[in-house]
Amino acid sequence: MRVLITGARGQLGLALQDALAPTGATIDAQDLPDLDISSHESVEGWFDAHEPYDVVFNCAAFTNVDGCETDFAAAFAANALGPMNLARACAGTGATLVHVSTDYVFPGSEPGARVESDVPAPISAYGRSKLAGEGLALACNPRTHVVRTAWLYGEGRNFVRTMLSLADRFDEVTVVDDQVGNPTYAVDLAHELVRIAQTSDYGVWHCTNEGTCSWADLAQETFVLAGLPTKVRRCTSAEWKAMHPESADRPAFSSLENARLEATIGNQMRPWREALAEYLGAAGQGA
């Protein structure tokens, strides 16, 4: 099997390389500046210059939620035109596309977990650009899996590492407590993406670690598992917005349910606390 990974230096791209290594696949791991998925010419030139791929995993994205508000053109290029370019190239060569999307396609106005059939209605520029990418990818290649995930952490910059860094400098950190979702370990997601890629049941999937918490809960659990005395001061989204008026709106309830996994190939995603403990232990931060 020949595999292309875009966004290969990101958290999920790195985890995917590790997950695919035991399969014996030939892995082509690419990132900027060599492959710019937002450029039709770059993608077409790349596919023309290489042997056909069996599967393309798109992990490339503009994920700065606040930055998307101030530069929607860049967000749309990476998060919408990029998946479209890859989907077209995959369609032309018969490849399967596994495109990673986000819980932020939902408005988060209703409590409870969203399933794949729920209607998206993003409230941020990031969410709108990612939803556009979903639709364009599915329209341009019938062999497309769109996999929505949430609150990702792994090797690289992420919320958990930010909390650990803040704990080195402060006795207390302020974290939003009225936005809830599913913290997801990139290693766990990568293994599930490999399983999804092997099916012909194309369409939209949800894939997160099990269980729901707030950002403040995640920060608190990080400090507990790392054996740190740092305290969490919980605040509301309105209070955070008042302190950071430039920040984008985020959904209050962005929890996802892995309904399609459960109904098809089986849901192997573990509880989020268990995954977080392993992550912190691997990073030398376990208590």
Active-site residue numbers? 126
Q: What does the alpha-carbon distance between residue 122 and residue 10 come to, in Å, rounded to a whole number?
A: 24
Close Cβ partners of 248 (under 8 Å, ≥ 6 residues apart)? 65, 66, 68, 69, 124, 125, 126
- Bond from prior residue into 52 cis (ω within 30 degrees of 0): no
Q: Are 3 and 53 in contact (CB under 8 A)?
A: yes
H or E element at residue 145: strand 144-149
CA atoms within 13 A on the CB side of 76: 8
- Three-point CA angle 226, 227, 232, nearest 5°: 85
- Lookup: tokens for 218: 């995640």
Q: In Å, how far from its chain's centre is CA 220?
A: 22
